[in-house]
A and B are shown apart, each in its own frame.
Chain A
Amino acid sequence: MKSNSDMTAAYIDEQLKETHFHPRSSKFNVRNAWGVWNGFKFADYYYDVDFEYFCVRNSCGTYDICPMQKYYITGADAEAMLNRMVTRDISKLKVGRVTYLCWCTDEGRMIDDGTVFKLGPNSYMLTSGSPCIAWFKKGAFGYADVKVTDMSDNIAAMAFQGPTTCEVLKKMGLDGIETLNPFNFRHFPLNGDSDKKLMVSRTGFTGDLGYELWIAPEYALELWDALYQAGENYNIHPYGELATGMVRLEAGFILPGLEFNEALKTVRFEHDQTPFQLNLGWLVDFKKPHFNGRKALLKEKEHGPEYTLVKLDIDGNKCAEGSYLYNNEKLKKHIGYITSTMWSPVVKANIALAMVETKYLKGEIWAEIYYSKEMRPHLKVAKCILRTKPFWAPARTRAKPPLPF
């Protein structure tokens, strides 16, 4: 029988990859609660979900986004290629700005969403939750001067979110960070060393004040140490997938696999979604030059989407996990289903995102909620109230400069 250490060596290939921050972040993962994201070992949570959730809402927390996919799109035709691929008008984006956007199939079905950073006149960075390189390469065909480079493994990235983040970054020595406005990014020297270029963008997935930090992998640990030293008195702590799932739902952000299916990976074509169904019609710009899916999306806009993603405030405190929605209390007619739901600790409400047939949006919405009390199943029929604004959108999120916490 082999010793344990031999076993580990033999199975090293079977183990998930570790992110650039792993040597530090794994120390925090006292519960060994690991999940997986794009082949990386990825924390579901480190210590306690609620604790981490309140770090984001109350002080500050870091979220390892190394597994997120990052692509450089460069060359004289980069703008033309990107603009044809995504639904927003990239030509308006200035260097130093970031924008949220999505890209669709020929049929106008959403492949994925992400952010684009304009790094220079002919240089962009595109991020996405899942790998998309095959699609980008397809989209780059026919353009003489454009290069798509997968930088996913070559950039260490970390989201830093919460009301005290600006203060901590100031402590860390990022001079002028308070002048960095939402959806802008800028480079700072790490620890005063101009060779160690730290890119900071005021972006995030929490609906709160926050930043994302991007750096070459060799400086990842130095960044972690500097940040944790500066944040020591500000309750800094890493937060995992589960806390992210909570804060993003309060902010009304969508996730693949919950709110939408990535269109290139669905077995049945009717199981994917258009941006209009996801309430992302504002991302589709029909005034810009031709873009992929335009014809289909124009048709969708004219007819109106069959389903619409909505925010619901549900009576009571029982989570409507996987619930069907109905147009009245009698539960006769399915009009939709819940995609994500939770009890929101900050707004003290039972909130959810749901796909509802557009034509029923004007009427009543009722949820059929099954829950268990000491192993006994119970059914509750709860009324749902439609919300148009995010459940959580404090002024500090977009304040210029950030307010004192």
Chain B
Amino acid sequence: MNNYDTIIIGGGHNGLVCGTYLAKNGDKVLVLEASDELGGLAATREFAPGFKASVAHTLFHFSDKVAKDLKLASHGFDINTRPMANVSLNANGEHVILDGWGSSSKLSGVSEKDAEKYREYQQLLKRFADVLKPFWLKTMPRIGSSSFKENLTFAHLGIKMRMLGRKDMGEFMRVATLPARDLMDENFDSEQLKALLSWDGLIGSKMAPRSPNATILALLYRMSGIHEGAHSLPTGGIKNLIKALQGSATASGVEIKTSAMVNKITIQADENGLKTNGVELDSGEIFTATRVVSAIDPQRTFLDLVGVQNLEIDFVHRIKRLRCDGYVAKLHLALSDLPKFVGLDIPDGRMVIADELDAIEFAFDDAKYGEASKKPVMEIVIPSLSDPSLAPSGQHVLSAHVMYVPYKHKDGWTEKAKTQLYERVIDAIERHVPDIREKIIHGEILTPFDLDKNYHVNGGHWHHTEMSMSQMLMMRPTYEAAQYSTPIPGLYLCGAGSHPGGGLMGGPGHNAAKEIMKEKS
């Protein structure tokens, strides 16, 4: 019988998290994944014979609560691994290195003044991050709601803010919307440090250091995990996290089908209106369910699977106009040997190529007009150092997030445009890794356009929907769908396009499951 309590569309980490919670709560759950691997953008796939990589290449705020609730440790996932150093590369080898977990991290390569300032800055941001922390794993109240219970969440936030004290609270409200550049300029002298610290607030968005309103919130969001925003690679790599999630799901009774592309969310109509009763696959196979939970992006969910004819016109418009275009390309290199970075013994950190804020700003300027950056900026990880299974023995994989590469190229993403981008990226890396070209066995660059095609994410945006201010909290993805339920009864969202947002965290999956269970009881 193809009948379930819950069908989850998309076997990415949020889909698995949500499904597992619901299965533990007694639901008969089916997870449908379009590709042959689970994990979505965190799936590990072979890009050259013997070489594997995943689009998401580090962890920085995976929820410890989710890990505990789903007993991921017993399925082989260890959240407490080694932190990765953040390295701002300098062609002369004068790197700025930030190493260790959040508060206990050590900063080197900057002046004593900057190092001192950094401690203050880190503590201030930590206090701000702590204010927001409880709200990432909570359903946001609906805007304009007159319900006392819903507004309690606002009251709670108000109290948390007040508890900061008058000075910090005032500062919080100022800093929250500050462009990254201003916050950095206020605190530091070292351009490399400024660029390094801004990086996490900017990556993934159509924003640059001078863009106001959202980047600091994005930084605070990333500081929500137990590692306060520091990056790490779990033992066995990202694929171990997906394996553990799969293990936990299966152990909880979740049924998983891969290579099962959902074509349509079936909608049933009666006098009272519409409701969903299942999904239809590309193959024509039909699965029925009491509820359908979509872990894929809001645009695909509503515009492609539900269909505009079942939705309201302005709602469709709000979904359509979401800022969803990705600006990050993914580079995978299969290397014959460990590359030698100028001034680094072992490249086991997260290496950022952006030696000043203007380098990021100017890279962004090209992308605004639909061109790939002439001088791209990027972060590089060698994941094969912590997970040797990703490459043949003695060989390595280089994985890089490259900014800014627009989803829509003004002339279309032709092979020529892609080759040009690839060459520019390798040129940029070569300045820091002079022998890189000799070591490349194979290389691929995935533009956001490719990510869209290969991973079924609209706009190729890792966060499904940009983390801009008007698309965060109770406005994510839009006010009618911010509490995980949608205008279609029985249809829920649990992907990165919902609060709290993208990144390997598990927040949306967790929150959606809680909300569904609350409705059930």
Task: Determine whether the beta carbon of A139 is less than 8 Å from that of B313.
Answer: yes
B487/A105 in contact, CB under 8 A: no
Check A295 against B273 for contact (C-beta < 8 Å). Answer: yes
Closest to B303 in A: A142
Asked if residues B312 and A142 are in contact (CB atoms below 8 Å), the reply is: no
User: Do B315 and A298 have beta carbons less than 8 Å apart?
Assistant: no
Distance to closest chain B CB from A303 (angstroms): 15
Query: 1/0 per position for A294-307, CB-CB distance to B under 8 A?
Result: 11001000000000
For chains A and B in complex, what number of residue pairs have CB atoms within 8 angstroms?
A: 47
A186 to chain B, nearest CB (A): 32
Given contacts A141-B308, A142-B307, A295-B487, is CB(A290)–CB(B269) below 8 Å? yes
Contact between chains at A141 and B316 (CB < 8 Å): yes
Which has the most chain A C-beta neighbours within 10 Å: B269, B271, B312?
Answer: B312
Bound: A230/B316 CA distance, A? 52
Contact A287 B308 (CB under 8 A): no
Does the CB pair B317–A138 fall under 8 Å?
Answer: yes
Q: Determine the chain A residues whose CB is within 8 A of the CB of B303 once the complex forms.
A: 142
* Contact yes or no, B271 A286, CB < 8 A: yes
Which one of B271, B274, B307, B314 contacts A138 once the chains associate, using CB atoms below 8 Å? B314
A295 to B310, CA, bound (A): 11
The listed residue (A80, A141, A294) touching B317 by CB distance below 8 A is A141
Count how many chain B residues have C-beta atoms less than 8 Å from C-beta atoms of the other chain: 19
- B309:A292 contact, CB within 8 angstroms: no
Return the contact of A84 from the options B271, B272, B309, B487 (Cβ within 8 A): B309
Chain A minimum-CB-distance residue to B318:
A106
Interface residue? B45 (CB, 8 A): no
Contact A106 B308 (CB under 8 A): no
The answer to whether B313 and A290 touch across the interface, beta carbons within 8 angstroms, is no
Tell me the dominant secondary structure on chain A's binding face: loop
B305-337 CB mask vs A (1 if < 8 Å, else 0) is: 001111111111100100000000000000000
- Complex contacts, B309 vs chain A, CB 8 Å: 80, 84, 142-143, 289-290
Q: Nearest-CB distance from B182 to chain A (Å)?
A: 35
**In the complex, which residues of chain A have a beta carbon less than 8 angstroms from the beta carbon of B273?**
290, 294-295, 298
Report the bound CA distance from A293 to B309 in whole Å.
12
260-309 of chain B: CB within 8 A of chain A: 269, 271-274, 303, 307-309
Which residues on A sit within 8 Å (CB–CB) of B307? 142
Tell yes or no: A66 within 8 A of B by CB.
no
- B contact residues around A80 at 8 Å (CB): 309
Return the contact of A292 from the options B271, B313, B320 (Cβ within 8 A).
B313
**Which chain A residues lie closer than 8 Å to B316 at the CB level?**
138, 141-142
Is there a chain B Cβ closer than 8 Å to A381's Cβ?
no
| Measured CA separation A298–B273 after assembly (Å) | 9
Across the interface, A290 reaches (CB within 8 A) one of B271, B310, B320, namely B310
Bound together, the chains give a CA A158 to CA B503 distance in angstroms of: 62
A135 to B316, CA, bound (A): 12
Docked complex: B380-411 residues within 8 A CB-CB of A: none
CB-based nearest A residue for B314? A106
Contact B313 A106 (CB under 8 A): yes
Nearest CB in chain B: distance from A264 CB, A: 10
A84 to B317, alpha carbons, bound, how many Å? 14
Q: Shortest beta-carbon distance, B478 to chain A, in Å? A: 11
CA distance A142 to B300 in the complex (A): 12
A298–B312 alpha-carbon span in the complex (Å): 14
In this assembly, does A85 line the interface, its C-beta being within 8 Å of a C-beta of chain B? yes
Residues A135 and B313 in contact in the complex (CB < 8 Å), given A141-B320, A289-B269, A294-B273: yes
Complex CA distance for A143 and B274, rounded to whole angstroms: 19
A106 / chain B contacts, CB cutoff of 8 Å:
312-315
What is the 8 Å Cβ interface bit string for chain A, positions 128-168, against chain B (1 contact, 0 not)? 00000001001101110000000000000000000000000
Contact B310–A138 (Cβ < 8 Å): no
Chain B neighbourhood of A84, CB < 8 A: 308-309, 313
In the complex, what residues of A have CB within 8 A of residue B487's CB? 295
CA distance A9 to B178 in the complex (A): 54
A273-314 interface mask toward B, CB cutoff 8 Å, 1 = contact, 0 = none?
Answer: 000000000000011011011110010000000000000000
- Inter-chain CA distance A106–B479, complex, in Å, is 13
Point out the residues of chain B lying under 8 angstroms from A294, CB to CB. 273
Q: How far is the CB of A17 from chain B (nearest CB, A)?
A: 30
B contact residues around A292 at 8 Å (CB): 312-313
CB-contact partner of A142 in B269, B272, B308, B314, under 8 A: B308
Q: How far is the CA of A105 from the CA of B307 in the complex (A)?
A: 18
> How many angstroms from the CA of A295 to the CA of B312 in the assembled complex?
9
Nearest opposing residue in chain A for B311, CB measure: A290
Chain A: minimal CB distance from B192 (Å): 46
CA distance A135 to B313 in the complex (A): 9
- How far is it, in angstroms, between the C-alpha of A366 and the C-alpha of B314 when the chains are bound? 40
CA distance A289 to B303 in the complex (A): 18
Q: Mark B14-34, 1 if CB is under 8 A from A, else 0.
A: 000000000000000000000
CB of B46 to closest CB in A, whole Å: 36
Residues of chain B from 89 to 128 with CB closer than 8 A to chain A in the complex: none
Contact yes or no, A298 B317, CB < 8 A: no
Closest CB in chain A relative to B336 CB, distance in Å: 49
Shortest beta-carbon distance from B266 to chain A in Å: 14
Residue of A nearest to B272 (CB): A298
Closest to B317 in A: A138
State in angstroms the CA–CA spacing of A106 and B313 once bound together. 7
- Name B489's closest neighbour in chain A (CB-CB): A295
> Which A327-357 residues have C-beta < 8 A from chain B?
none
List of A residues within 8 angstroms of B317 by Cβ: 138, 141
Distance in angstroms between the alpha carbons of A317 and B471 in the assembled complex: 58
Residues on B with C-beta less than 8 A from A105 are 313-314
Q: What is the distance, in angstroms, from B389's C-beta to the closest C-beta of chain A?
A: 44
A136, closest chain B residue (CB): B313
| A143 & B313 in contact (Cβ 8 Å cutoff) | no
Interface string of B479-520 (1 = CB under 8 A from A): 000000001000000000000000000000000000000000
Docked complex Cα distance between A294 and B303 (Å): 19
Contacts of B274 in A (CB 8 A): 290
List B220-242 residues whose CB lies under 8 Å from chain A: none
Q: How far is the CA of A287 from the CA of B320 in the complex (A)?
A: 28
Among the interface residues A85, A139, A298, which one has the most CB atoms of the partner chain B within 10 A?
A: A139
User: In this complex, what residue of B is CB-closest to A139?
Assistant: B313
State the CA gap A294–B487 with chains docked (Å). Answer: 11
Chain B contacts for A85, CB-based, 8 A: 313
Quick check: A138 and B313 within 8 Å, CB to CB? yes
Which B residues are in CB contact (< 8 Å) with A295? 273, 312, 487
Q: Which B residues lie within 8 Å of A286 (CB)?
A: 271
Q: How far is the CA of A287 from the CA of B271 in the complex (A)?
A: 6
Sampled A-B contacts (24; CB under 8 Å): A80-B309, A84-B313, A85-B313, A105-B313, A105-B314, A106-B312, A135-B313, A138-B317, A139-B313, A141-B308, A142-B307, A142-B309, A142-B316, A143-B309, A286-B271, A290-B269, A290-B274, A290-B309, A292-B312, A294-B273, A295-B312, A295-B487, A298-B272, A298-B273
Residues of B near any A CB (own CB < 8 A): 269, 271-274, 303, 307-317, 320, 487
Which 8 pairs of residues, A with B, have the shortest CB-CB distance? A142-B308, A106-B312, A106-B314, A139-B313, A292-B313, A84-B309, A290-B310, A292-B312
A-B contact sample (11 more), CB < 8 A, given A80-B309, A142-B308, A286-B271? A84-B308, A84-B313, A105-B314, A138-B314, A138-B317, A141-B308, A141-B320, A289-B309, A290-B273, A292-B313, A295-B487
